[in-house]
Every structure is written in structure tokens, then in C-alpha cells.
Amino acid sequence: MKAAGEKTRGYRRLIPSMTALVEFEAVARLSSFTVAAHELGVTQAAVSRQVKALEETLGVQLFHRLHRAIRLTREGEALYQVVSESMQKIAGVFDRLAKYPQQQQIIIATTAAFSQFRLLPRLAQLRQRLPQLQLRLTTQMFTADLLHKDVDVAIRFGSGKWQAGTAALLFDEEVFPVCAPGWLQAHPVPASLAELADMALIESDTTSEGWMGWEEWFAAVGYRPQYLHYAFRCSLYTDAVQAALAGQGLILGWGRLVHDLLATGELVRLPVASLKVTDSYYVVVPQGRTVSPVVEELIACLREDLTNN
């Protein structure tokens, strides 16, 4: 029976010698025990012993030892691919830390709509609070793709129940029709949902989980029009907002995203109907990572509404 301490050794139990992996990677990359030994500053015999010990530990042969050459076996190829990729990542981190020892890097993944309308306008505030922060932003269309191995934080809209990480609530959401002031000056304010359905509506694809289009919104507020008058359709919500700002019609305003545009008067809210949706925005930290003070500061900054200067 294993002692309790043996259960906690983790990688040390599975990988008894990191030196052997380093020397194996050099041999595989250079296709030579002699050249690898020269690069590592050790003897060829030492490299051979490390590789042999690694083969005995794994119980497989890693190299075909030919008369004047060596070649990776199938098992050796599989190990080399993983070890080489891992060492490149480690080297990249060392290089980044050496160049920016005082900076804190964080990679944020979000949709284009959230980054443009909520995150980017708050960059100045975030830099004031965290002057050493090095921010990298990756924007994608589908929230299902937001959590991947290189992401430190993902902004997601939904139920908050995801197995891929720990979710911290940012804020809830409300959806209502909005348009540019110029459009409203040229058209009457709709007095009912029926009148609203007959106006020039701008529609974007509902690529994010929990999002809805005009048809779903009308149904949710208790009205099912036989026909909707679409003046413009596009894939991204950012394009829909730009079309509305250009006076092309009405869009569904996701309150937290268009808040700043409403505050500046670039968009106006139509007092017809509004829907409080059940889903919300969350900051998601992937499994295996903690909600650091930097992430807590990011959450606080994203929660704040900008004042209209």
C-alpha cells in the first residue's frame, strides 16, 4: 500500500528525470547523440545514459539506432512532439519575464461586441489602476470558443454554470429597442409593439449563447407579429450598432453594451417595451487558475459605468 506522501508527488512520480527529457529533446532535434552532447556541454556517454534510462522507465524504445544514424521510433515521435512543444512554451515564458520583469500579462478572451463597447472604453481606467499590466485581447464570434489553454480570463454571457472554469458575476442584462437621435427626429415614436414591428429593424446573427433576435424578443415581451420589417441584416452586433448610429433603423439595445452610447446621446432608448433576461455576463477563470488581485481589479473596472463628461 502506498504511503500518503507518495500520492502527492504528481509529476515527479511520472517523470523521474527532467534532465533526461532535456537531453532526449536535444538528441531528437539534432538527430545525433554527439551533437546534442556538444550543445548541452556534457559527454556523449552521459547523454546516452540519460536516454537509455528514459527508455527503461517508459518501457519503450525511443530511437532506432542505425549504423551511422539514429531515427525516432513511433513512441519517440509522440514523446518528442509533446516535449518540444512544452519546452518552447517554457522558453517563451522565460523570455517574456526576462524582458518585462515588472509587468503582469493577462490574456482576455471575449466577443467583439463586449470588447468594443464595454472593455476598450475602460482601458484608461484599467491602466491607471494597474500601470504594470500588459493586456492582450483576443476577440471571437462564438462564446463556445472563448476558453482555451492560452486564455487567463474569458468574458461570457450565459447562465454562469460552466464546467470549464470558475465564473464570477459581472452584471445582469436588459434588452430594449434603441436608435440614433436623427432617425427618431425623422420618424414617429412607436406607440405600440405593433407599430414597432413595422419600423425599419436592424438584425444581427445571434452567435452568442443566450442572445436573441427581434423575433425572439417580441415573443418574450408578449407579442407575435406576422411580419417584421428588416431594413438591414448582418453577422456581428458591432455592425448592427454602427448601422443604427448611421441612422439606418432600430436595433435591440443590450443595455450593458450600449450604456456608454446612451449616456453620450449617440443612441436613444425607445420607451415601448423592455426585457430583463435571465442570463448575465460573467468573468470566467479557467480551471486550475485562481481569481488573482489583477482579475479582481479587472472585474471591478468592467462593472463600473462611465460618466458622461
**Tens of pLDDT along 56-78?**
988 999 999 888 889 999 999 99
Q: Is the pLDDT reported for residue 294 higher than 90?
A: no
Locate all alpha helices (DSSP H) within 16-43, ordered by sequence. Answer: 18-30, 33-40
CA 113 – CA 89 distance, rounded (Å): 31
Instruction: Please tell us whether the domain made up of 4-99 is placed in CATH 1.10.10.10.
Output: yes
CATH fold match for the domains 4-99 and 104-172+280-303: no
| H or E element in which residue 282 lies | strand 280-286
Is the pLDDT confidence value at 238 over 60?
yes
- Lowest mean pLDDT, pick from 25-29, 88-92, 132-136, 273-277: 88-92
What is the CATH number that goes with domain 174-276?
Answer: 3.40.190.290
Angle formed by the axes of helices 74-99 and 18-30, to 10°?
110
- The whole-number average pLDDT for the span 154-172 is 85
Closest residue by Cα to residue 304 from 108, 128, 104: 128
pLDDT, mean over the chain = 84
Res. 261: pLDDT tops 90:
yes
Assess whether pLDDT exceeds 90 at residue 262: yes
Tell me if 75 sits within 8 A of 61, measured CB to CB: yes
pLDDT at 197: 94
pLDDT(274) > 70: yes
Q: What pLDDT was estimated at residue 112?
A: 86
Domain ranges in the chain?
Answer: 4-99, 104-172+280-303, 174-276
For the stretch 170-216, pLDDT in tens is 999 999 999 999 999 999 999 999 999 999 999 998 766 678 999 99
Q: How confident is the model at residue 49 (pLDDT cuts 50, 70, 90)?
A: very high
pLDDT (mean) for 266-283: 93
Distance, CA of 150 to CA of 107 (rounded, Å) = 7
Model confidence over 81-136: pLDDT tens digits? 888 888 877 877 776 666 544 556 788 888 888 999 998 888 888 888 888 778 88
pTM > 0.95: no
With beta carbons less than 8 A apart as the criterion, state whether 170 and 302 touch.
yes
Domain spanning 104-172+280-303: CATH 3.40.50.720: no
Task: Please report, rounded to a whole number, the percentage of residues in the chain having pLDDT higher than 70.
Answer: 86
- pLDDT score of 5: 46
